[in-house]
Chains A and B, each alone.
Chain A
Amino acid sequence: MHALWRLAAVSAATICGIVSAAGIEDGEKRSGFDFMTPETQALQADDMSNPGMLWVLQGEQLWQQAEGRADVACAGCHDNASRTMRGVAARYPAFEAARGRPIDLAGRINSCRAERQQAEALAPESDALLALTAYVAHQSRGMPITPATDPRLAPFRDNGRRLFQSRIGQLDLSCASCHDDNWGKRLGGSVIPQAHPTGYPLYRLEWQTVGSLQRRLRNCMVGVRAEPFAFGAPELVDLELHLTERARGLLVETPAVRP
């Protein structure tokens, strides 16, 4: 059955392959939320039924929990997240001078753990890292995505755009082939959304759990039969930078629900 769908996906993808890299007009920018069925939208809209809220709740608990050799909690420095973290996710990834390159929200949490709490880094896609990231990002829910304007980010954002537009994998598709040029059409039974990262970390029904934007990007790379970048790879952060710029003005939804 899956093999059949894969075949269908391949043929659909081939049709999608006739591309230009025009991008999406500002007036046409739409969250993936708009492409979902009313049932899936309802799942996201009610905090008491949105399973992503379980991770937000866990994140809230972890925020208060002292960690590492420094024995300090996130709250120990950042106090009340609803005040101090409001708007943070809306402008990430940010430039980190110490590394001379951009860092995403999960990366920031892990660097904070290492440097301030003197604790072990949390593994990519671990519940704890997703929970803390979701909790921090949730504080910006409803705020427009306003990417950081730091000029030092520019070359990395440009690299992200280049990656977004580069054809990769055995299917020889770029991100743009589907999400800039063919959004709104169908790939198998699914509508192709515009690929705006408005609600990460998000609960994906296909995953049956919460996952990061990096997991989603790796998913897409596997989908076009390309070797995915490793979790935490600089290329993925560069792509995140481009995607947030592309989504500028859309509202943060974390934790979103997607099919």
Chain B
Amino acid sequence: MHEDPLRVHGGLVGRRQFFRVGITGLLVISLPHRALARPSLDEAIRSFTGGANVLDGRVRLDLPPLVENGNAVGIAVVAESPMTEDDHVRRIAVFNEKNPEANVAVFHLGPRSGRATVSTRIRLATSQVVVAVAEMSDGSFWSSRASAIVTLAACIEDLS
């Protein structure tokens, strides 16, 4: 199959591909600027850990599997740690997969916390994966992931 080549951004693309590029371009233009800047889940975690290896375990993320309304989803994170001066959780960070921004919250704990546990309520724009990462005082990182199905309300309010 032969297509007339068109020059786009210095590269040669077929007409069909050009059409695709065009549509993507329109979509890109219509998206809010900041949405484009969203790092992936893994990128967000990497920027928190500074690229350090993240191990599975020692931390548990509780997230309801089925969510009635994504505007307020209760989550709890518990990490296994004696929470002593020598061995404690420094930070617990929570990330999401599909919201406009990957970060949810970063909690700063220490030996005076007594236990490594935090809970809060978060927004989930749609069904997705949520990850909790705990940074220990020895510099190691541990994570737990969970996913939730978010249903949308049947009767949404017309703001106009």
Chain A interface (Cβ within 8 Å of chain B)? 1-2, 5, 9, 12, 36-37, 39-40, 42-43, 51, 186-190, 205-208, 219-220, 222-223, 259
- Supplied contacts A12-B154, A259-B68, 20 more A-B pairs, CB within 8 Å: A1-B126, A5-B152, A9-B154, A9-B155, A36-B68, A37-B68, A39-B64, A39-B67, A39-B68, A39-B73, A42-B74, A43-B74, A190-B68, A190-B151, A190-B155, A205-B72, A206-B69, A206-B157, A222-B157, A223-B156
Q: What are the nearest 3 A-B pairs in CB distance?
A: A189-B151, A205-B69, A187-B154
A-B contact pairs, 23 of them (CB 8 A): A1-B126, A1-B152, A5-B154, A9-B155, A37-B68, A39-B74, A51-B72, A186-B154, A187-B154, A187-B155, A188-B152, A189-B151, A189-B152, A190-B151, A205-B71, A205-B72, A206-B156, A219-B155, A219-B157, A222-B158, A223-B156, A259-B69, A259-B153
A7 to chain B, nearest CB (A): 12
Label chain B's interface by main secondary structure.
loop
In the complex, B66 has a CB within 8 A of chain A = yes
When C-beta atoms are compared, the residue in chain B nearest to A189 turns out to be B151
B71 contacts A208, CB within 8 Å?
yes
B64 contacts A190, CB within 8 Å?
no
Residue in A1, A9, A43, A222 whose beta carbon sits within 8 Å of that of B72 in the complex: A43
Q: Which of B119-160 contact A (CB under 8 A)?
A: 126, 151-158
A219 to B153, CA, bound (A): 12
B65 to chain A, nearest CB (A): 10
B68 contacts A223, CB within 8 Å?
no
A205 to B64, CA, bound (A): 16
A172 to chain B, nearest CB (A): 16
A37 to B72, CA, bound (A): 13
B68 contacts A40, CB within 8 Å?
yes
Chain B interface (Cβ within 8 Å of chain A)? 64, 66-69, 71-74, 126, 151-158
B71 contacts A188, CB within 8 Å?
no
A40 to B74, CA, bound (A): 9
Instruction: Tell me how many residue pairs across A and B have CB atoms closer than 8 Å.
Output: 64
A37 to B71, CA, bound (A): 14
When C-beta atoms are compared, the residue in chain B nearest to A211 turns out to be B157
A220 contacts B64, CB within 8 Å?
no
B149 to chain A, nearest CB (A): 9
List chain A residues, Cβ under 8 A from B153.
188-190, 206, 259
List chain A residues, Cβ under 8 A from B71.
205-206, 208
B108 to chain A, nearest CB (A): 22
A208 to B157, CA, bound (A): 12
When C-beta atoms are compared, the residue in chain B nearest to A6 turns out to be B156
A37 contacts B152, CB within 8 Å?
no
Kindly name the residue among A39, A43, A207 whose own CB sees the greatest number of chain B CB atoms within 10 A.
A39
A41 to chain B, nearest CB (A): 10
List chain B residues, Cβ under 8 A from A222.
157-158
Q: Given the interface contacts A43-B74, A205-B71, does A37 sit within 8 Å of B66 by beta carbon?
A: yes
B157 contacts A207, CB within 8 Å?
yes
B74 contacts A188, CB within 8 Å?
no
List chain A residues, Cβ under 8 A from B69.
40, 205-206, 259
List chain B residues, Cβ under 8 A from A219.
155, 157
B67 to chain A, nearest CB (A): 8
Q: Given the interface contacts A205-B71, A205-B72, A206-B71, does A2 sit within 8 Å of B152 by beta carbon?
A: yes
Residue in B64, B151, B157 whose beta carbon sits within 8 Å of that of A188 in the complex: B151
